Chain A
Amino acid sequence: MIERIDAIIIGAGHNGLVCGAYLARSGLKVLFLEARDAVGGMTSESTIDDDFHIAGLAHTSFPVCAKIRKDLRLEKFGYSAGKGIETITLQEDGRHLRFGRNTVSGPDLTDKDVDAYRHFKDEFFGYAKAMRPMFATRPPRLKNMDFADKMTLAKLGWNIRFGLGRESMYEFLRVAAINIYDVLEEEFEDERLKGALAADAVIGHHMGPRSPGTVLTWLARLHAELNGPLSVVSGGPSQMCNALLQAVEASGASIRTGARVKKILVDKGKAFGVELEDGEIVKAKTIVSNADPRSTFLELVGAPQLDATFIQRVTQIRGAGDVAKLHLALSGTPEFLGLSASELENRLLIAPTMRYVEHAFNDAKYARYSEQPVLEITLPSLHNDSLAPRGHHVMSVNIQYAPYDIDGGWHEQKTTFAYKIIALIGKYAPNLKSLIVDHEFLTPQDIESRYNVRQGHWHHGEMTIHQSFMMRPVHGAAQYNTPIDGLYLCGAGAHPGGGLTGLPGHNAAQRILESGIAK
């Protein structure tokens, strides 16, 4: 049976699913080829000790934007934004702070900082809104602009000048490209408050609060928060991907799992199909890669099919993962000092001060894991009781920083590091150690091999300024096009980058449909 395929999506992560759903809805015959046995990429489920289930890598997410929800009718397929949670930043002495959208509360917090936080969040939400034209469409080219590119820039200019107003525009232009450390130092006095915000700005990145561009990474996060509060990705597979999967299936696309693409087939600069690991060849005029840009260009396409400088740029993409993930299977509910049982539904941060976060990063700069890492902790089984046996729980911990390459190698140090993390959490939750039934620990190298993403980077590449917007992933491959005709990128390596937003997939689909291949 030979069936005509219009578009092949390599990888059924959430962005691939969003992109494929849009393409299929506009009448294209779409085939997903996913190397793993499950769809959903980094959100797909991981099982520990047979009875404990947890979302593999994704951990918390903001709601999917209204446009994608509406276009793909995700609510109809069972999507809901999930229960909104707040962030509690833990202190060893129990003087925790609790953050809402623009509220913060906790012992010994001055009214001045409470007011400053409200004003600060509102102001920065304004900046994030002003940048919306840049995030929600393809980034404009600066050379050979077309009408849409000019409109995007015009909207951005209008939003910054008239949406923000003169004073806010000056402030936005002052802070947009600097580091979060300096900005937070100017705004706040409370070290706990600054520590938590600094951690939010750098989470998932190989950057410390003093690294340039960390205001921009925080703005990207705020842009997602505009859609609503954070919720826990509750596993099993995630609600978002489940809804997307159903949307994709309803649109007539087909999905093959366990189908690892080995090569993207190119003839005279044009993609015409893919070759699977077992030698099977599937042909299509449009190939969309949800894989990260380095895997796409260096492995799937290969240097011989591309220009030399382009390959050099791709080789130099900055994107070594710096976050490890620890999953704990627990025989009971951990007790955190100063937290009630109901408060454990929230996102718990260990980032007591901004200097703590910066010092944690210092280790990573010199190829060591953080002796005192920043931790982001959730208990997904409090949101979905099917994840663990009755009375039991699963805990998910993001550990920052854990460089992809460390001196001495991960093999030798993985276990020691895991024990250090458990001991660190133990300072805040003394009974934790006694509850551990089993664990799973993923270094960036494990993330790389499990999720087929080069160097195990969540975002498929750092979201630095020089790798953002029209430079994401590299000059010559922005706007979702690639130097290979008929080959597009739709993953986090493309603009606007990582996070469970679906925006790269949405923008890529727009781009592909604009190019006129739709029936």
Chain B
Amino acid sequence: MSIPNDHFRQAIQHTPFHARLAALTQTEEWTVWNGCMAPRVLDKLSTEYFAVRSSCSVMDMSPMEKYRITGADAYRFLDRLLTRDLSALRPGRVTYVVWCNDEGKLIDDGTLFQFGDGDYRLCSQHHQFDWLMTSAMGFDVNIEVETHDVAALAVQGPTSYSVLTEAGIAGLEDLRPFGIANLSCQDFPVVVSRTGYTGDLGYEVWVSPENALPLWDAIFSVKSRYDVHAIGLSTLEMVRIEAGFIMPGFDFNTAESTVRANFDRSPYEVGLGWVVNLDKGQFTGRKALVAESKRPAKRRLTKITIEGNKPVGEAFIYNKKGGKLVGEIKCAVWSPILKANIALADIEYIGGALPKKLWARLDYQRELKWMSAWAECRPTNKPFYSPDHRSATPPSRL
């Protein structure tokens, strides 16, 4: 683990791409992501959004928590940490994972990269070093924080394959979704994974910090031929809801930060039952999840489409107009590409089933006057937006 020993002198760190972001920003709308300065919006939200959906977006994802996990027991350690069956994971592949505490409540989610036998990287939303170390008791495993040792760009959008290829990264044509490739860009090595948080065709490019700016410059060197646009976190929030991806700490309270009883959530309760394998053997929280799986469902984080075009912020959900309160919206967005209000809502089940009708009570302002309206909501199981070009291999050259 290498943490610069004077990092505390600067309250907010700059990522290796900061110089380029600082030069691009028109708005100076910065926020803090994992202790690093990160843009919310660089110039215009709609331009950035349509870069993801129509051309190519570039996002600095260096602040993402990254842990390198190696050692003789690395697999056994991860198998006990994560709810998912990892037996099918192979070197050169990535999988989406979640992990729970002893009570079967979600601590965080992330992606697990397997580089080789007994060599993994776990990426997470929140800092996990303490939980990983707790989980490591009794295992021969080495865990290193490599958050600041690896810079990363998410290059996402229908033309992302073409842009990266034009930028000089050859060999992406065979890379399937959730695959990892060791490639080079110009004269330096890059690791490219076909992963992302946008629900579109896209890649994540991992590079050592000294090659961060050359990578950025290589990608943006194709700007005369392709629309390549740097984006901030506000765009990410829009597109991840369209893709149906959840955000721990926002859509549900993470277990280790929950004080009140029953304010935390299990994987089943946020619709992630598909990443829980109760038959694979022991993992932390298994016993609690076995018990939960035998009880009627109490609540689910549900994808809903809300009729009409009134702005949806935070809102309560009822089983009919003026009926029983059954839930609340956790995140919502007007989807420009779907022309619809979409949201993730925490809904209490009635008799183990989703209420037959869902109505949102929307409170909104019209020219500073508060208004209230009822809007019917339709639940859906599928991602709101999942274009075919997302998973095509090889992707079309545009």
Contact = CB atoms under 8 A, between A and B. Distances in A.
A311 B131 CA distance: 12
A308 B134 CA distance: 6
Q: Tell which of A302, A305, A308, A309 has the most Cβ of chain B within 10 Å.
A: A308
Interface stretch (B277-285, B314-322, B327-335): B277-285
- Bin chain B's interface residue count: 20 to 34
B285 A304 contact: no
Interface in B65-88: 76, 79-81
A146 interface: no
A269 B287 contact: yes
A268 B79 CA distance: 13
B285 A307 contact: yes
A82 interface: no
Q: Tell which of B81, B102, B284 has the most Cβ of chain A within 10 Å.
A: B102
A228 interface: no
Given A303-B80, A310-B102, A476-B102, A269 B282 contact: yes
A305 B81 CA distance: 11
B290 A308 contact: no
B138 A304 contact: yes
B303 interface: no
Interface string B350-362: 0000000000000
Given A266-B282, A269-B282, A483-B287, A304 B137 contact: no
Interface string B162-206: 000000000000000000000000000000000000000000000
Given A303-B137, A303-B139, A476-B102, A308 B81 contact: yes
Contacts of B286: 269, 307
B134 A312 contact: yes
Contacts of B101: 307-309
B170 to A, nearest CB: 42
Contact of A269 (B76, B80, B81, B290): B290
Contacts of B138: 298, 302-304, 311
A82 B284 CA distance: 49
Contacts of A267: 281
Contacts of B79: 304
Interface in B296-335: none
A315 interface: yes
Contact of B139 (A266, A304, A483): A304
A308 B131 contact: yes
Contact of A304 (B102, B131, B282, B287): B282
A436 interface: no
A310 B284 CA distance: 9
B279 A307 contact: no
A93 to B, nearest CB: 53
A281 interface: no
Given A268-B279, A304-B76, A311 B287 contact: no
Given A304-B282, A307-B284, 18 more contacts: A267-B281, A268-B278, A268-B279, A269-B282, A298-B138, A302-B138, A303-B80, A303-B138, A304-B79, A304-B139, A307-B102, A307-B286, A307-B287, A308-B80, A308-B102, A310-B102, A312-B134, A476-B102
29 contacts: A266-B282, A267-B281, A268-B281, A268-B282, A269-B282, A269-B286, A269-B290, A302-B138, A303-B80, A303-B137, A303-B139, A304-B79, A304-B138, A304-B282, A307-B102, A307-B284, A307-B285, A307-B286, A307-B287, A308-B81, A308-B102, A308-B137, A309-B101, A309-B102, A310-B102, A311-B137, A311-B138, A312-B137, A315-B137
Interface of B: 76, 79-81, 101-102, 131, 134-135, 137-139, 278-279, 281-282, 284-287, 290
Interface of A: 266-269, 298, 302-312, 315, 476, 483
